[in-house]
Amino acid sequence: MISDWGAVAGRTFRAVRGTSAPVTYGLIGLCCLVFVLGPASGLDPVYGSGNALLAAQRAYFRHWGVIPAELFAAPAREALSPATALFVHGSWVHLLGNMLFLYVFGAMTEERMGRVRFTLFYLGCGYLALIGYAAANDASRQSLVGASGAISAVLGAFLYLFPDARVTSLLPFLFFLPLRFPAWVVLPFWAAVQWLAAGRASQGPGVAYLAHLVGFALGFLFAWLRFGRRAARAAPEPGGG
């Protein structure tokens, strides 16, 4: 069994390394692996079921996630928590939603930035997005996990780099018909929805909409500073989202 897993891992690593966006696909694979092995997936019987599973999930999120009140009370001890929180997700919906956005927008952004720069960009913006959310909720003791801030930064950079790339969108008020719009329409609309949701989320942390906004702004600003006023390169369509 171990040798079989080793062979599968080897083939997966070679496939990822051979793509034009190995960092993006590697991040997707790593987030999925961490989720499946953790208690949030509910797949590992070692965590039990029922109340035992819920207790294991809470302890897991507290250990690897960001707790704003503790982050600023003991910044030296908690300094790594925004980095580890980027790879932890709270549910299957949370994971799959984030990975879909990363899959759609990450590969083209990575190809444009380069692998090393994209890696540093993703981790740095994701870290700062979680810090920004924690600073605005510094009394909260709820665990904050997920790659949403980093992926929002990818969306912000994508908007600057590929404003005319057409993105498939599913709109609820149009019966979820798949329609294609340019990124300069879809992504600002998405950011506006996050802004409105963040304004309504004043009763305490839930979905970290503010982290989405901070990440989006950081991603756009990074792309603008790095690539200046050069015209965005004509881009192929990202395929969906």
The closest of 148, 115, 146 to 218, measured between CA atoms, is 148
| Tens-digit pLDDT string for the chain (241 aa) | 334 444 444 444 444 444 589 999 999 999 999 999 999 999 988 888 889 999 999 999 999 999 999 988 877 788 999 999 999 999 999 999 999 999 999 999 999 999 999 999 999 999 999 999 999 888 888 899 999 999 999 999 999 999 988 776 655 433 444 556 678 788 888 888 888 877 665 444 456 888 999 999 999 999 999 987 654 444 455 554 4
pLDDT of residue 108: 94
Could you say which of 140, 148, 152, 169 is catalytic? 148
pLDDT of residue 11: 47
Phi-psi region of 208 (alpha: psi -120 to 50; beta: other; left: phi over 0): beta
Which amino acid is residue 74, in one-letter code?
A: A
Could you say which of 94, 140, 152, 212 is catalytic? 212
Point out which residues pair with 167 in neighbouring strands. 181
Give the three-state DSSP class for 31: helix
Contact 183, 220 (CB under 8 A): no
C-alpha dihedral (18, 23, 25, 31), degrees to nearest 10: 140
Residue 224 CA: distances (Å) to CA of 102, 158, 205, 229: 20, 11, 31, 7
Backbone angles phi, psi at 79, to 5 degrees: -60, -30
**CA separation for the pair 170, 104 (Å, rounded):** 14
Backbone angles phi, psi at 52, to 5 degrees: -65, -40
What tokens were used for 129? 């997005």
**CA separation for the pair 3, 66 (Å, rounded):** 36
Contact 144, 130 (CB under 8 A): yes
User: Would the pTM of this model clear 0.85, i.e. be above it?
Assistant: no
Burial code (b: 16+ CB inside 10 Å, e: under 16) for 70-86 equals bbeeeeeebeebbeebb
Asked about 212 being catalytic, the answer comes back as yes
pLDDT of residue 75: 75
Which amino acid is residue 13, in one-letter code?
A: F
Q: Which residue reads 């009763």 in tokens?
A: 203
pLDDT of residue 188: 81
pLDDT of residue 56: 94
What tokens were used for 88? 């932890």
Q: Which fold has domain 2-227?
A: Rhomboid-like fold (1.20.1540)
* Domain spans of the chain, in order of start: 2-227
Contact 217, 187 (CB under 8 A): no
Contact 213, 194 (CB under 8 A): yes
